[in-house]
Amino acid sequence: IRELMAHHGKEINFLGVILSNLNVALEQKERAARMVTNMALSLGADGAIVTEEGYGNPDADYVRCIVALQDAGIQVVGISNECTGRDGQSQPLVTMDEKTDALVSTGNVSQLISLPACKTVIGELQALARDGLSGGWAGDELLGPSVREDGSIIMENNSMFCGDQIAGWSRKTMLEF
């Protein structure tokens, strides 16, 4: 947003930010997309950047909003992560539409991450495998357990809280104290 504001009055006419909630029911998703579109039209927008928070059910809100804006004549670029499976071969979003033809991927939430063992661990490593958290598992017939006997970890990207690069700027790191 700051970058867009910095270019206001030079390369672009930055009109602002429209926020919309994520809904569960389909009719609420449709209504929210219409409201976003109406606000964009009332501002005189001819282009928009649409981002998404989360993945799975929110994909429907994201795609519906892009389609509604496109139908109103507003060109859209979507920015979001995707969930294409560990091998990167699955459909990237839960729902797709041919009008979503300008999407920027910020990463795959199912990508595997390997982390070395640490001397000091705050919390309980086995919670990753035991507690049913996204991206962790007790056993996998190919990979074995998420938490290895030596304390190293293999997990999906989405296990690292707020680490799935939804806006494309996440830094994943470990620090030794």
Is the domain of 62 the same as that of 128? no
Is the domain of 19 the same as that of 42? yes
Last residue of one domain, picked from the residues 64, 94, 110? 110
24-34 pLDDT, tens digit each: 899 999 999 99
55-103 pLDDT, tens digit each: 788 899 999 999 999 999 999 999 988 888 888 888 888 888 999 999 9
Is the domain of 115 the same as that of 105? no
Q: Which domain holds residue 100?
A: 1-110
The pTM of the full predicted model, rounded to 2 decimals, is 0.80
Is the domain of 99 the same as that of 172? no
Cα separation, 121 vs 49, in Å, equals 40
Cα separation, 136 vs 120, in Å, equals 20
